[in-house]
């Protein structure tokens, strides 16, 4: 009887947790991933070996609090930089010529806008003037999640401002995101839904980081990346961010 009562009480708690606001959910999420510990985080450096069907590709992703970032692939002696942003210029190494090339003006502007979202848009949405709403509850991988809609600063696509909306699916129990979704806004895949799934959350210097991210298309193929190391405030060669003038 005592047990049934306990179950009933737990049910009540989960009933009341359903009535959380979007803001409360976002706040619980922030607390769940480390809360104020994030204030001391100036940079994140992540390393992984991506397995491309048996071929190992070493990868390093750096992200600075001020928005600078790069992904470095070190392969057969070649350093290939992808998705770099040095605070002004967004660029990548051309695989063929192995020379740096600037992203389009649109992508550069979008990188500039996204650079303000450290460590994550859902953490700093208020400061950035984004709108957050609770869309309801949905299951992700069999887990009941809050579905949050985050309307961010618009994206620039082919010279036009278009809506920039991300959906977060936050585990109702642990308050960490299991899934992020957004519509692909340009290119041949335009209109399809891109997804990122998160797992293997681990604590590093007091903050909680997903060590595994699987990215792909909704109902389509995905590619997982598992980080071997995540370093907080590690020494990062700042020159790597900078677009090398030709």
Report if residue 78 touches another protein, rule: CB under 8 A.
Answer: yes
Cα 118 to Cα 40: distance, rounded to the nearest angstrom: 12
As given in the structure block, the two tokens for residue 224 are 């997982």
Helices (H), 87-232: 105-114
Report if residue 215 touches another protein, rule: CB under 8 A.
Answer: no
Residue 202 CB, nearest approach to another protein (Å): 7
Report if residue 171 touches another protein, rule: CB under 8 A.
Answer: yes
Burial of 97 (0-12, 13-18, 19+ CB in 10 A): exposed
Evaluate whether 209 touches 230 at the Cβ level (below 8 Å). yes
Report if residue 4 touches another protein, rule: CB under 8 A.
Answer: yes
Report if residue 1 touches another protein, rule: CB under 8 A.
Answer: no
Residue with tokens 């290939």: 80
Report if residue 141 touches another protein, rule: CB under 8 A.
Answer: yes
Report if residue 135 touches another protein, rule: CB under 8 A.
Answer: yes
Phi-psi region of 158 (alpha: psi -120 to 50; beta: other; left: phi over 0): left
Report if residue 159 touches another protein, rule: CB under 8 A.
Answer: no
Report if residue 112 touches another protein, rule: CB under 8 A.
Answer: no
Residue 103 CB, nearest approach to another protein (Å): 20
β-bridge partners, 68: none
Report if residue 13 touches another protein, rule: CB under 8 A.
Answer: no
Q: How many helices (H) and strands (E) does the chain have?
A: 3, 13
Report if residue 240 touches another protein, rule: CB under 8 A.
Answer: no
| Among 108-116, 124-132, 139-147, 236-244, the segment contacting another protein (CB under 8 A) | 139-147
> Out of 2, 19, 39, 76, which residue is the one contacting another protein (CB under 8 A)?
76
């Amino acid at each position: 009887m005592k047990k049934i009562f306990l179950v009933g009480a737990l049910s009540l708690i989960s009933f009341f947790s359903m009535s959380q606001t979007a803001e409360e959910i976002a706040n619980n999420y922030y607390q769940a991933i480390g809360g104020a510990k994030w204030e001391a985080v100036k940079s994140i450096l992540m390393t992984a070996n991506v397995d491309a069907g048996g071929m190992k590709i070493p990868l390093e992703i750096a992200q600075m609090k001020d928005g600078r970032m790069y992904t470095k692939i070190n392969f057969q002696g070649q350093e290939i930089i992808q998705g770099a942003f040095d605070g002004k210029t967004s660029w990548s190494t051309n695989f063929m010529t192995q020379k740096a090339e600037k992203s389009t003006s649109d992508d550069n502007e979008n990188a500039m806008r996204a650079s303000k979202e450290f460590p994550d848009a859902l953490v700093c949405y208020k400061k950035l003037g984004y709108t957050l709403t609770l869309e309801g509850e949905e299951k992700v991988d069999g887990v009941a999640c809050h579905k949050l809609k985050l309307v961010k600063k618009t994206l620039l696509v082919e010279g036009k401002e278009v809506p920039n909306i991300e959906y977060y699916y936050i585990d109702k129990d642990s308050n960490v995101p299991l899934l992020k979704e957004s519509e692909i806004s340009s290119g041949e895949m335009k209109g399809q839904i891109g997804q990122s799934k998160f797992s293997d959350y681990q604590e590093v210097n007091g903050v909680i980081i997903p060590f595994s991210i699987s990215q792909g298309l909704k109902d389509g193929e995905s590619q997982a990346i598992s980080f071997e190391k995540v370093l907080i405030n590690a020494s990062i060669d700042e020159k790597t961010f900078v677009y090398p003038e030709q």
